[in-house]
Amino acid sequence: MNRIDTDPTPGPLEAYEELRTGFTAVVSHELRTPLARALALIESGSDPTEVLTKVRAEIEEMTALVDDVLFLAELESGRAVVAFGPARALPELERVATEYADRADRADVKLEVTGDPDAELLLRPRMLAVVAENVIENALRYAGPGTTLRLAVERDPEGTTLIAADDGAGLDESDLPRLFERFFRSDRARASRGTGLGLAIVKHIVTSAGGSVEASGGTGRGLEIRCRFPAT
């Protein structure tokens, strides 16, 4: 697999400007799209029960987008404390995978969790859960049916690595350098209703805890995300 390291985390001013610019773009497009769909449904004259169900889905999409934007802004402003521990990683990954089991079955994606049961991270359990939730969400949306996502924890003298690797559709290698950018979605991902913020949140949490993130893969060769944390 070809491997791409992410760029260094921007400074506070640059991060704020990037977030502000990105949010403006989202307001002008990403929020307009579900709003337009909701209005079209209301005006369609279709069965009221069916319309209500679909409008609810559009509202939930907008809510998820706003929640992600606010959470990322909170992380970048320092109001959310990331590092607090150490905490054992494997039990938290297993817990999150169990919570996503039904959704994974519906998406026909198999979730596997393996690794060192004693591996610890200098990361609050809730922040580790957010990382796990976002990499799982990414695989459920984009890996494709009949695939497997493996979450693994590996430890060595220099630190601990959290790995999320799927054997799914992958993405174009030219998209790898932008994978962790806010609001970035590849051509294939634009057909999905993701917010484009999940992996940006992963990157920010990991780097705030003193770690680094890298991605590797290619079209038809799956995607592997490696979150590397310093030794506890």
The per-residue pLDDT for 19 is: 57
Distance between CA atoms of 87 and 94, rounded to whole angstroms? 14
Structural domains of the chain sorted by starting position, each given as residue range(s) with its CATH number in brackets: 2-77 (1.10.287), 87-230 (3.30.565.10)
Residues of the chain with pLDDT under 70: 1-13, 15-31, 68-69, 71, 73, 76-81, 84, 183-196
Order across the sheet with 223-230: list the strands: 2-5, 212-217, 223-230, 159-166, 147-156, 109-115
Nearest residue to 115 via CA among 138, 91, 137: 91
Q: Give 105-134 pLDDT, tens digit per residue.
A: 999 999 999 999 999 988 888 889 889 999
The per-residue pLDDT for 105 is: 96
Q: Virtual CA dihedral for 126, 145, 203, 12, nearest 10 degrees?
A: -100
